[in-house]
Amino acid sequence: MIDPAGTATTSWGRVSRARSRVAEPAHLDDLARAVRAGDAPVLAHGMGRSYGDVCLNGGGHLLRTGRLDRIVAADWSTGVVRAEAGLTIGGLLSVCVPRGWFVPVTPGTKFVTLGGAVANDVHGKNHHGMGTFGCHVRALGLLRSDGETVEVGPEERPHLFAATVGGLGLTGVIAWVEIQLQPVRSSDFKAQTLRLQDLDGFFRAAEDSQDWPYTVAWVDCLAAGRRLGRGLFNRGRHAPDGPLLPHADRARLKVPRDAPSALLGPLTVRLFNAAYSRQPAGGEPARVPYGKFLYPLDGITDWNRLYGGRGFFQHQSVVPTAAAPRALQKLLELTSSEGQGSFLVVLKMFGPRPSPGILSFPREGATFALDLPNRGPDTLRLLHRMAEVVLAAGGRLYPAKDATMTAEQFRAGFPRWREVESYRDPALSSDFWRRVTGDPA
Amino acid sequence: MSSPSPASAAAAGKTVLVLGATSAIANAFARQRAAAGGRLVLVGRQQGRLDGIAADLTARGAAAVATLATDLADMDEAEPRFADMVARLGPPDEVLLAYGVLGEQAAAQDSADETRRLIDVNFTSAALWLQLAAKHLVADGRPRTLVVIGSVAGDRGRQSNYVYGAAKAGLDAFAEGLAHRLHRTNVRVVTVKPGFVDTPMTAHLDRSGPLWAKPEAIAGAIDRAVSKGQRIVYAPWFWRPVMTAVRFAPRPLFYKTKL
Ligand SMILES: Cc1cc2nc3c(=O)[nH]c(=O)nc-3n(C[C@H](O)[C@H](O)[C@H](O)COP(=O)(O)OP(=O)(O)OC[C@H]3O[C@@H](n4cnc5c(N)ncnc54)[C@H](O)[C@@H]3O)c2cc1C
Pairing between β-strand B94-97 and β-strand B15-19 as defined by DSSP bridges: parallel
Report how far residue B88's alpha carbon sits from residue B66's, in angstroms, rounded to the nearest whole number.
Answer: 10
CA distance A177 to A97: 18
Tell me what pLDDT residue B4 has. 42
- Tell me if B55 and A95 make a contact (CB, 8 A cut-off): no
- Sheet harboring A7-10: ordered strands across? A7-10, A17-23, A61-64, A42-45
First to last CA, chain A: 28
Between B76 and A294, the higher pLDDT residue: A294
User: Does B176 score more than 70 pLDDT?
Assistant: yes
Per-residue model confidence (pLDDT) at position A328? 97
Contacts of A435 (CB under 8 A, 6+ apart): A53, A407
Each residue's pLDDT tens digit, A262-293 = 445 666 777 777 777 777 777 889 999 999 99
**Is the pLDDT confidence value at B5 over 50?**
no
Spatial distance between the Cα atoms of B148 and B99, rounded to a whole number of angstroms: 10
List, for residues A287-335, the tens digit of each pLDDT value: 999 999 999 888 888 888 888 888 999 999 999 999 999 999 999 999 8
What's the one-letter identity of residue A66? G
Give CA–CA dist B83/A399, Å, rounded: 58
- The whole-chain average pLDDT of chain A stands at 92
Strand ranges in A76-136 using DSSP code E only, listed in sequence order: 80-84, 101-102
Q: Is the pLDDT of residue A434 over 80?
A: yes
CB spacing of A1 vs B22 below 8 angstroms: no
Q: Is the CB of A115 within 6 Å of ligand 1? A: yes
Strand order in the sheet with A286-289: A286-289, A188-196, A231-238, A214-220, A344-350, A365-373, A312-319, A396-397
Per-residue pLDDT for B195 more than 80?
A: yes
Element at A205 (helix H, strand E) = helix A199-208
Q: Is A334 on the interface with B (CB under 8 A)?
A: no
Asked whether A57 lines ligand 1 (CB < 6 A), one says no
Instruction: Kindly indicate the confidence band of residue B160, based on its pLDDT and cuts at 50, 70 and 90.
Output: very high
> Measured from the CB, is residue A409 less than 6 Å from ligand 1?
no
pLDDT of residue B3: 42
In the predicted structure, residue A31 carries a pLDDT above the cut 70: yes
Segment B215-228, tens digit of pLDDT: 999 999 999 999 99
Which of B1, B48, B200 shows the shortest C-beta gap to A67? B200
Q: Is the pLDDT of residue B251 over 80?
A: yes
CB of A216 within 6 A of ligand 1: the answer is: no
The sign of the CA dihedral A262, A267, A273, A274 is: positive
User: CB B52 to CB A26 under 8 A?
Assistant: no
Q: What is the mean pLDDT of residues A117-142?
A: 98
pLDDT given at position A37? 60
Q: Which long-range contacts (CB under 8 A, 24 or more apart) does A68-75 make?
A: A68/A25, A68/A26, A68/A27, A68/A28, A68/A31, A68/A175, A70/B52, A70/B53, A70/B55, A70/B56, A71/A95, A71/B55, A71/B56, A71/B59, A71/B60, A72/A176, A72/B52, A72/B55, A72/B56, A72/B59, A73/B55, A73/B59, A74/B59
Chain B CA closest to residue A76 = B59
- With a cut of 60, say whether residue A205 has pLDDT above it: yes
The ipTM value here is 0.91
Which residue from A minimizes the CA distance to B31? A70
**Is there a catalytic annotation at residue B164?**
yes
What confidence tens digit (pLDDT) does each residue in A231-266 have?
999 999 999 999 999 998 776 677 766 665 544 566
Ligand 1: residue whose CA is nearest its atom 7: A107
Question: Looking at residues A166-171, what average pLDDT do you find?
Answer: 98
State the DSSP code for A73: E
CA distance B6 to B26: 19
The number of the ligand 1 atom at minimal distance from the alpha carbon of A304 is 53
Measured in Å, residue A62 CA sits from the centre of ligand 1 at 15
Q: Is A234 in the pocket of ligand 1 (CB under 6 A)?
A: no
CA of residue B109 to ligand 1 center, whole Å: 45
* Mean local confidence (pLDDT), B24-48: 96
The rounded distance, in Å, linking the Cα atoms of A31 and A25 is 5
Residue B10: per-residue pLDDT:
58
Whether residue B101 contacts residue B123, with contact meaning beta carbons closer than 8 Å, is answered with no
Decide: B127 and B171 in contact? Cβ < 8 Å: yes
Nearest CA to ligand 1 atom 6: A107
Pick the residue with more confidence: B189 or A252? B189
Distance CA B34, CA B61 (A): 5
